[in-house]
Amino acid sequence: MSDPLTDRLPPQNRDAERGVLGGILRDPDTLPVVQQHIVADNFYFDAHQKIYQALCELSTENQPIDLVLLYDKLRKNKHLEDVGGQAYLVDLWESVPTGANAEYHAKLVKDTAMVRGLIHASNEILRDAYERTESGDTLVSQAERKIMEIAKLGMVGETKSLAEVVKDAFDRLDSRIGKDNLAISGMPTGYVDLDNITAGLQNSELVIIAARPSVGKTAFALNMVRNIVTETTDRNGHSPVVLFFSLEMARIELAERLLCCQSRVDSHKVRKGQLNSDDIQRLMDAGDILRRARLYIDDTPSRTMIQIAASARRLQKKHEKDGGLKLIVIDYLQLIEPENRRDPRQEQVAQISRRLKFLARELLIPVIALAQVNRASEDRQDHKPRLSDLRESGSIEQDADTCMMLHRPGKFDGTQDDNILEIIIAKQRNGPTGEITLTWQKGYNRYENYIADVGMGGGV
Cα separation, 99 vs 58, in Å, equals 18
List b or e across 109-118, with b for residues whose CB sees 16 or more CB atoms inside 10 angstroms: bbbbbbebbb
Residue 7 belongs to a domain: no
Residue 457 belongs to a domain: no
SS (H, E, C) 351-420: HHHHHHHHHHHHHCCCEEEEEEECHHHHHCCCCCCCHHHECCCCHHHHHCCEEEEEECHHHHCCCCCCCE
Q: Sign (positive/negative) of CA torsion 450, 454, 455, 459?
A: negative
**CA-angle at 113, arms to 111 and 116, nearest 5°:** 115
Q: Provide the pLDDT for residue 377.
A: 67
* Helices then strands, each counted (H, E), the chain: 17, 9
Q: Sign (positive/negative) of CA torsion 279, 283, 289, 293?
A: positive
Residues 107 and 217 in one domain: no
Q: Provide the pLDDT for residue 104.
A: 92
Cα separation, 214 vs 421, in Å, equals 12
Which of 284, 218, 224, 279 lies closest to 253 in space, CA to CA? 218
Contact 400, 208 (CB under 8 A): yes
Q: Provide the pLDDT for residue 457.
A: 38
Contact 73, 54 (CB under 8 A): yes
Contact 408, 440 (CB under 8 A): yes
What percent of the chain clears pLDDT 70, i.e. is strictly above it? 86
Residues 305 and 403 in one domain: yes
Residues 195 and 288 in one domain: yes
Q: Provide the pLDDT for residue 456.
A: 38
Residues 132 and 183 in one domain: no
Cα separation, 150 vs 169, in Å, equals 33
Amino acid at 398: Q
Q: Provide the pLDDT for residue 414.
A: 63
For residue 116, how far is the Cα from the chain centroid?
27
Which of 388, 317, 389, 307 lies closest to 352 in space, CA to CA? 307
Evaluate if pTM is beyond 0.85: no
Looking at the structure of the chain, the number of domains it has is 2
Residues 334 and 234 in one domain: yes
Residues 109 and 194 in one domain: no
Rg (CA), the chain: 28
Residue 164 belongs to a domain: no
Report cis status (omega within 30 of 0) of the bond before 52: no
CA dist 298 → 53, 69, 179, 193 (Å): 46, 59, 32, 30
**CA-angle at 195, arms to 189 and 197, nearest 5°:** 145
Residue 157 belongs to a domain: no
For residue 140, how far is the Cα from the chain centroid?
20
Residues 147 and 195 in one domain: no
**Beta strands at 402-407 and 367-372: parallel, antiparallel or unpaired:** unpaired
CATH number of the domain that residue 120 is part of: 1.10.860.10
Residue 459 belongs to a domain: no
Residue 208 belongs to a domain: yes
Residues 260 and 400 in one domain: yes
Q: Provide the pLDDT for residue 452.
A: 57
Cα separation, 459 vs 118, in Å, equals 56
Residues 391 and 242 in one domain: yes
Cα separation, 140 vs 431, in Å, equals 41
Residues 228 and 131 in one domain: no
Residues of the chain with pLDDT under 70: 1-7, 141, 152-162, 165, 172-173, 175-184, 377-379, 391-393, 412-417, 452-460
Residues 58 and 132 in one domain: yes
Which range marks the domain in which residue 87 is found? 14-152
CATH number of the domain that residue 252 is part of: 3.40.50.300
Residues 136 and 223 in one domain: no
Cα separation, 131 vs 120, in Å, equals 17
